[in-house]
Every structure is written in C-alpha cells, then in structure tokens.
Amino acid sequence: MKSTISFFIAAALSISAHAAETTSPPPAKPVRVILVGDSTMASNSGYGDAFCARVQRSNTCINLARGGRSSGSFRAEGRWDEVEGLLKGSAAYRATYVLIQFGHNDQPGKPGRSTDLKTEFPVNMTRYAQEVKALGGVPVLVTPLTRRSFKDKVLENNLQPWADVIRATAAAQRVPLLDLNADSYAAVQAMGEDEADTLAMAPRPEKSTEAATAAGKVEVAGAAKSAFDRTHVGAKGAAYFSNMVVEEMKRAVPESAGMFKREGEQ
C-alpha cells in the first residue's frame, strides 16, 4: 500500500515539475550597447572601453569609436555602415542602445573632417538619431567630453556650441541625452588644473611646452599618440569619465540601470 502511495506521489511531483518547466517564461534577451564617436570615446585614448567594462557580461558592448572622426567623416569612411549592419540584428536583443558622441573633430581647422556648425553638424546628428530609430535601436546622444585646458584657473569650454546643438537635437528627436560636456566641465573645473592633468594619457612634462599644454593639437585621423595632452585620457581618466557616463545613462534611460555592474565589481 505504501509503495502504491509513494508511486502516485512521485508521479504527481514529476508532472508538476514538468508543468513548471513548460510554463516558465523564456530567459530574458540580453541588452546591447554600441559606441560611436571620436578618440575621446575610442580604445586606448578615450573612456569607451572602460564604459564597456561596466556592462554586465550577460549583455554586449561594442566600441566602434575611432580617433580623428567627426560626424561627417565617420559616415563618409563607411564606418556607419557597420553600425547599420549590426542594427539589422536587433531582434536578438531586448534593446540596442547606440551612444553617439561627436564634436571634437567637427570644429574648424581639420580638413576633410570639419563640419559647419549651423548647416551640417545638426543635420548629421539628426540623421544618426533617425536612422537608429528606423532600424529598431535606441539612439542616445552624448555631448562631447570637455578638454582640460585652463586659463587663469578657469577651464575653457570651446566645445560648448557643439554641445548646444546636440542638446537641441536630442530634444527635437525626443531621444535620450547624456550631457557629458556639462558634467565633465563642472567636475574638471572643480578639481583644478593639477588634478585634471593626472587624467591624461601620459604624465605632464616638468617643463611643459606650448604644444604640449595647448587645448588640443590638431589630431590626425587615427589613434591618438601616447603623449601628454589635455584632450585624451589614460586609464585614470577613462575610469573617471566612464563612471560619469554610466550614471548619466542610468538617469536618462532608467530601464538600462540593471545592465551595469556596480562600480568596482569585476
């Protein structure tokens, strides 16, 4: 009798377990982040890789930023085609966020890369946002990281006009905005020149030359050289500003908060 009861109990448990397996929801799709921008976001000279390191391993982060690129040359070189190709596979992800940051190389004086602030730059940024949305992604516009050049203890911000265009574009397109320019400017101004110089790719020379301490040398269309300047960042600067971008992302896109590791988590 006991064996019969045990048999029925075991059978019932087996059926219950099978039912639970067949009714449980499928695992959640991962989230993907694609970074698009210039050297201040790119590998080895910007904060992009450090940002990707903060994304949970169950998700995907791809840094496609490249040194020396502007909102115009990034597309002209065919690099945007790669982004569009990736976006065509967006169905495999719960969401694909495309963080887009330009401005440094859109400024005048950079042949083949500079764009007109009034007639070209706004059109370029608008087009990026619209194309990401059309392909099922979520465009996230990022204002350019501040340079770290001081004059009479006051931090210069010659990227302000480009940041203003990006803010206006984000509002007009109703897409998330990460105001990195405002955040980084305030933080660097507060820390002062000496501390800000420790964020660079190389130590500040004891006897700084005018070229080394300039707001930013004209960058060739490639990776930044491993030398001191006040535009690009080393490991310390990358960690510092990537954390800033993570916090901005959490505020601007609250549903993305769960995709990040806690600061210091491996």
DSSP state of 66: -
CATH no. for residue 250? 3.40.50.1110
Residue 2 inside a domain? The answer is no
Supply the pLDDT for residue 114: 98
- 23 within domain boundaries: no
Structural domain boundaries enclosing 217: 28-259
pLDDT value of residue 227 = 87
pLDDT, tens digit, for every residue of 97-142?
999 999 999 999 999 999 999 999 999 999 999 999 999 999 999 9
Segment 134-151 mean pLDDT: 98
In a domain, residue 223? The reply is yes
Question: Mean pLDDT across the chain, nearest whole number?
Answer: 89
Domain assignment of residue 213, yes or no = yes
Give the Cβ contact number of residue 209 at 10 Å. 9
> Which range, of 83-92, 133-142, 165-174, 220-229, averages the lowest pLDDT?
220-229
Is 35 a member of any domain?
Answer: yes
Q: What is the pLDDT of residues 69-88, one digit of tens each?
A: 999 999 999 999 999 999 99
pLDDT, mean of residues 35-45: 98
Assigned domain for 189 exists: yes
Number of domains making up the chain: 1
Strands (E) in the chain, as ranges, are 31-37, 60-63, 95-101, 138-142, 150-151, 154-155, 177-178
pLDDT (0 to 100) of residue 22: 53
